[in-house]
Amino acid sequence: MVGIILYGSFELAPYSKMYMKLLEELGYEYELIGWKREEETEYFGDNVYVYEKPAAKRFSSPIGKILPALGYRRYIKRIVRERKYDKLIILTTQTAIIILDLLLGKYKNKYIFDYRDKSYEYLKPYAAVVNAVVNGSVETVLSSPWFKDFLTKKKDYIIVHNFREELLANKEECCRKAEPGKKIKIGYVGLLREYEYHKKFVSTFGNDERFELHIYGCGDDCEALAEYARNFNNIFVYGAYRDSEKYKITDTFDMMLYNYPYSFVNDGAVANKYYDSLLMKKPMIVNDKTKIGKFITDNGLGMSVDGDDKNAANKVYEWYRSFDSARFSEKCNILIEKYLEDNREFERKIRAALSK
């Protein structure tokens, strides 16, 4: 029996399905332990354990964050003790840290660690804890090749990409470029946690009749952004969406807004919308001060825009009207094939780790 544990909601962690699929193919029983964050849950059943006490808000005080985490830690440890799992799959660093004693004790070399985001690795004590988790794992999986720069060099890492082979059913073979004279529809799909930053892009495209900006996603800033968007006749904020609706939504866009401010946390991360853009053949608006943003611009997959640039809308319009959609589509397909091979290697190695 394998336990898959997440500090959060499985509804917001579609990458967890890769592990479920592998376990099912191997004929292994597994159970999920997660924290309810959504009003409607997609995961339920005898093999699903959901902690239902309220989670901390993003801007909670330190004690306001610690107390809920301690409650969830007790919940996890009780279930692990009762269920006596043979192996664990630990999704995200937060999960690992709250049950560090369990991982480095009873389950040392009996867990797979899936590393998704940086946070405080620039602090030596925190980095030491994360590297201890890495070293204690049977395998450590990274969702970005750039994460290697901040982790121990004593470990061989597995790279995995945030899309599953079955999602190829949604793949577009070529980019359908908006005809001249038609509005360019820009879309954002994901969590809304950078109000002031996203507000700049609402202002950039707001009331510019060449564009529409469609924003889908939940998060602490959703309501405030929706309220601000009401000042403009071409900006639309829709709130939460189901993962099953994502590709239908993305199909309505001409460009994807994948522009995050530079920060230690953001730099090196690769969000789902990058892979969605490749699959659906949507060029991206990015920040080339981040590693993924520079990669996108260097490879002709999109353009970089500064949210403070008063001429940003004109630059986006000129870039979009002049980019070569055929070359763009070809590059997307080449990268998709590379990422599929990386994911197949991930599957081979994880199968081997689970079978030991």
What does the pLDDT look like over 98-140, one tens digit per residue?
Answer: 999 999 999 999 999 999 999 889 999 999 999 999 999 999 9
Distance CA 152, CA 173 (A): 39
Does residue 345 fall inside a structural domain?
no
Contacts of 268 (CB under 8 A, 6+ apart): 118, 144, 146, 147, 149, 150, 290, 291, 292
Query: What is the separation, in whole angstroms, between the first and last Cα of the chain?
Result: 13
Instruction: Give residue 58's pLDDT.
Output: 61
Residue 328 DSSP symbol: H
Does residue 182 fall inside a structural domain?
yes
Instruction: Give residue 140's pLDDT.
Output: 98
Instruction: Give residue 302's pLDDT.
Output: 97
Cβ(37)–Cβ(12) below 8 Å: yes
Does residue 52 fall inside a structural domain?
yes
Does residue 340 fall inside a structural domain?
no
- State whether 174 and 121 are in the same domain: no
pLDDT tens track for 29-68: 999 999 987 656 777 788 999 998 887 766 667 677 888 8
Distance CA 310, CA 83 (A): 58
Cβ(48)–Cβ(32) below 8 Å: yes
- State whether 105 and 223 are in the same domain: no
Distances (CA, A) of 331 to 261, 265, 273: 25, 27, 17
Among the candidates 102, 131, 160, a domain finishes at: 160
Express as a percent the part of the chain with pLDDT over 90: 74
- State whether 146 and 192 are in the same domain: no
- State whether 22 and 139 are in the same domain: yes
Instruction: Give residue 197's pLDDT.
Output: 86
Token pair, residue 8, equals 């959060």
Instruction: Give residue 216's pLDDT.
Output: 92
- State whether 203 and 236 are in the same domain: yes
For 32, list phi and psi in degrees, rounded to 5: -110, 135
Residue 82 exposed, middle or buried by CB count within 10 Å (0-12, 13-18, 19+): exposed
Residue 118 is part of a domain; what is its CATH number?
Answer: 3.40.50.2000
Instruction: Give residue 60's pLDDT.
Output: 66
- State whether 144 and 266 are in the same domain: no
What is residue 226's three-state secondary structure? helix
- State whether 183 and 154 are in the same domain: no
Instruction: Give residue 236's pLDDT.
Output: 95
Cβ(138)–Cβ(158) below 8 Å: no
Residue 254 DSSP symbol: S
Does residue 217 fall inside a structural domain?
yes
Gyration radius of the chain's alpha carbons: 21
Q: What is the pLDDT along the chain (356 residues), one digit of tens a residue?
A: 999 999 999 988 889 999 999 999 999 999 999 998 765 677 778 899 999 888 776 666 767 788 889 999 999 999 999 999 999 999 999 999 999 999 999 999 999 999 999 988 999 999 999 999 999 999 999 999 999 998 999 999 999 998 878 888 889 999 999 999 999 999 999 877 777 888 999 999 999 999 999 999 877 778 889 999 999 999 999 988 887 899 999 999 999 999 988 989 888 999 989 999 999 999 999 999 999 999 999 999 999 999 889 999 999 999 999 999 999 999 999 999 999 999 999 999 999 999 87
Does residue 349 fall inside a structural domain?
no
- State whether 151 and 103 are in the same domain: yes
Contacts of 318 (CB under 8 A, 6+ apart): none
- State whether 99 and 248 are in the same domain: no
Among the candidates 160, 193, 208, a domain finishes at: 160
Does residue 38 fall inside a structural domain?
yes
- State whether 150 and 282 are in the same domain: no
Does residue 214 fall inside a structural domain?
yes
pTM: 0.86
- State whether 137 and 192 are in the same domain: no
- State whether 122 and 171 are in the same domain: no
Residue 247 exposed, middle or buried by CB count within 10 Å (0-12, 13-18, 19+): middle
Instruction: Give residue 59's pLDDT.
Output: 60
Among the candidates 114, 144, 160, a domain finishes at: 160
Domain that holds residue 294: 167-335
Cβ(216)–Cβ(249) below 8 Å: yes
What domain count does the chain have? 2
